[in-house]
A and B are shown apart, each in its own frame.
Chain A
Amino acid sequence: MEEIATLLEPHIPALRRYAWALLRDDDMADDLVQDTLERAISRWHSRRRDGDLKAWLFTIERNLFLNLLRQRTSRGPHVGEEALENVALDAGHPDAALGARDVLAGLDTLPEEQRSVLLLVGVEDLSYDEVAKVLDVPVGTVMSRLSRGREKLRQYMETGRAMVLRRVK
Chain B
Amino acid sequence: MTGQRPIGEDDLQAYVDGRLTPERKVSVEAYLKANEAAAFRTVADRDHREALRARLAFKANEPIPARLRVANIMAERRRPAIRHLGTIAAAVSWLIAGGVLGWSANQWIASPRLAPPAVLASNTATLSAIAAYRTYVVETAHPVEVRADQEAHLVQWLSRRLGKPLLAPDLSQQGYQLMGGRLLPAEGKPAALFMYDDAQGTRLTLYVRPGDEGDQTAFRFEAQGDVSAFSWIDQGLSYVVTAKTDRSRLLGTAEAVYRQLEQGSSESRKGKL
Query: A interface vs B, CB < 8 Å?
Result: 1, 4-5, 8-9, 12-14, 16-17, 20-21, 25, 27-35, 37-39, 41-42, 64, 67-68, 70-72, 75-76, 78-79, 83-84, 87, 102-104, 106-107, 118-119, 121-123, 127-128, 140, 143-144, 146-147, 150, 153-154, 157-158
Contact = CB atoms under 8 A, between A and B. Distances in A.
Contact of A9 (B45, B70, B89, B95): B70
Nearest to A140: B10
B177 interface: yes
Contacts of B59: 13, 16-17, 20-21, 29
Contact of B10 (A42, A64, A143): A143
> For the complex, would chain B's binding face be called helix, strand, loop or mixed by DSSP majority?
helix
Interface of B: 9-10, 12-14, 16-17, 19, 41, 44-45, 48-49, 51-53, 55-57, 59-62, 64-65, 67-71, 73-74, 77, 84, 87-89, 91-96, 98-99, 148-153, 156, 160, 177-178, 271-273
B52 A123 contact: yes
Given A31-B156, A87-B150, A42 B77 contact: yes
Contacts of B44: 154, 157-158
Contact of A64 (B53, B87, B92, B150): B92
A82 B214 CA distance: 43
Contact of A34 (B10, B60, B62, B73): B73
B58 to A, nearest CB: 9
Nearest to A107: B52
Given A71-B94, A122-B53, A17 B60 contact: yes
Contacts of A35: 88-89, 92-93, 96, 272
B150 A83 contact: yes
Contacts of B152: 28, 68, 72, 84
A143 B271 CA distance: 38
A152 B177 CA distance: 37
Nearest to B156: A27
A71 B67 contact: no
